[in-house]
Chains A and B, each alone.
Chain A
Amino acid sequence: MTDLAHIRNFSIVAHIDHGKSTLADRLIQSTGTVQDRDMKEQLLDAMDIERERGITIKANTVRIDYVAENGEKYVLNLIDTPGHVDFAYEVSRSMRAVEGSLLVVDSTQGVEAQTLANVYQAIDADHEIVPVLNKIDLPASDCDRVAEQIEDVIGIEATDAIRVSAKTGVGIRETLEAIVQKLPAPTGEREAPLKAMLVDSWYDAYLGVVVLVRIMDGVLKKGDKIKMMQTGAAYGVDRIGVFRPAMQVVEELGPGEIGFLTASIKQVRDTKVGDTITHEKKGAEKPLPGFKPSIPVVFCGLFPVDSAEFEDLRDAIEKLALNDASFSFEMETSAALGFGFRCGFLGLLHLEVIRDRIEREYDIELITTAPSVVYHVYMRDGSKIDLHNPADMPDLTHVDHIEEPRIKATILVPDEFLGDVLKLCQDRRGIQQDLTYAGSRAMVVYDLPLNEVVFDFYDRLKSVTKGYASFDYHLTGYRQDNLVKMQILVNDEPVDALSMMVHRERAEMRGRAMCEKLKDLIPRHMFKIPIQAAIGGKVIARETLSALRKDVTAKCYGGDATRKRKLLDKQKAGKKKMRQFGKVEIPQEAFISALKMDN
């Protein structure tokens, strides 16, 4: 137990790849929290997928002991957060557990879209913000310009921003001092009834459900009987501890401290992030404000390529959902793809991460259907349907009108690409809301339909701006528009997994693009195959895949008949990745690739 004056709690926030996790490494290492020999890069990014992609997906907490220049010993709790917009929710709830933020800005890049988004969240959470200019070891580093940009664009004082190289360790000591001197100590009453914020929870193979808590008031001890104020469930505390970053058991956690508890909680679902934990007897009367729940915004179907693996897929999805409350699923059946699941995600990266994990950790090959957003379908009889899957679109004669989700998108882009960005947003049915300049960069704010953004907007943005634009968005609400369901027919059979909702005015264009793409993606067969896009029975676009005309091995390798046999076997293996629709075989990657628009 540490007295409040000697505790500092903070999150490290930044645009993606600006060096949060690397800075966390240096803070951990320079304070001797982890021995040098146990150190590795981005130590906190422990998941395979994080290490492989070099990004943080899950926020992580570490407790550091630091002896400051004033000779006093401080306990620092840092939370490293993800930078990608899909995981903005992780950042926002992490911020609620701490009093300050280190705002890392890559001094070779400057302020980017998630820098802004994070600052606004930090201000919302009443944080003290300490700006840190990172990567000063790189020749392209320009601290003066970036400091000025921070002041201009964000409006926070940055003249004495700390200049750091998280890579070489320059400026780490200064960063630690700034944390102690500039960030406020937490407040709280040791004698008051227990109020602990449930910040996060996950499943650990050895310990069961682990709950990350921030103590606001009171003291939590092993053996305490606790109660979740929202759910009313009561548990006996088995173990409490802190992360260094390995779990270390402690006797108690007092006000201002961050740590974990385990109790015999069966499922992660039994814990609600944002809930308040108190003692069962003499507990607190009023809970803490709680968090806004995260809502999945992108939905798609996941089907096993091999239909015999459906039960394995169910198992995999259930296990992953245990640890990821932001991911939802329900069973789905498709005429063409058989049994699978309709899953909801925070964004496309989140979708990719989950899909990758299922394929790799559980070794199940998947067909992913067209991602869709959630439409509100208002029926003539006054009822409303949340449509997660275009295949479930009710008969139009019963539909009064349809609303789609809209977002507010903020894009930062160098001047020279502004025109391309505006055109892209305009093409995607965007409505410009704001356009300002900061130095040689423009900040554009657009109101856009989410369905135009979900799929390939970010890829397109990167390609038209050569990677120089950054992008952030959040949902703003729903709005009615002229939306229709477009079906794709292959060899005159509708393929439900390819149907999608589109704006009526964009339907011909999308339909044509889809048909052309599919024509390239579907291999030729021994007969010709019409590929059509249709709205309610009316064909709006059509392509014909001509029949295969040549598939024969020219050469004869002496008497090497084995080689020929193997060649067929190889093709056999390739075929597993195909799905049969009537007489037509469609490769699994077609379901996603067909949606990508080149311009």
Chain B
Amino acid sequence: MLKFIDTVGEAVAGIKDGSTVMIGGFGNAGQPFELIDALMECGAKDLTVVNNNAGQGDQGLALLIKEGRVRKMICSFPRQSDSWHFDAKYHAGEIELELVPQGNLAERIRAAGAGIGGFFTPTGYGTTLAEGKETRLLDGKWQVFETPIHADVALIKALKADGKGNLVYRKTARNFGPIMAAAAKHTIVQVSEIVPTGSLDPENVVTPGIYVNSVVRVSGSSAEKVA
């Protein structure tokens, strides 16, 4: 059941300790900062977080990591010039890291949403990131078996939602949003604008509302209820 929620705090209130949480964004583009801040305040801990990176600077995901809320990161690129909170936890042995090539990360998330039990991909064959994984020679290429990444919750950012939860994004801020929305049991979206049902061209809907559970508008006043 789709819900329009007034505040980010209410939107994330149901996230339990030990959850796997997907967080959209590539760098700052598409990062749902307000939802991440609300997750921080709601106090959920022992989280497994799926994101391309492992937090930047002193905001958002980096703070969740700093405060010890994240037990495990599943990501492709944790090491950045300003990823000091992750670096410290990693060197202290206080956070687990599952490092995944970026395209495998995306496809494993997609597979979860699409009900695929696993897939063979050439990416990573012959590297340390494929160690211990099943391999097969398919179509003349050695390929590695990869499994889906499911999540309890996805926190993503879109530009607009309509009353059915259909989403459109903006430029490269789309990145992981559509696939995370499909992969999680419960998808929470922050949008800049909620528009009346029927005002989005159905040809241009990127994420159909079936994948969306909660919508919260973050800029300006509280979410308008639209039907």
- Decide if A and B are genuine partners: no
On A, residues with C-beta under 8 Å from B are none
On B, residues with C-beta under 8 Å from A are none
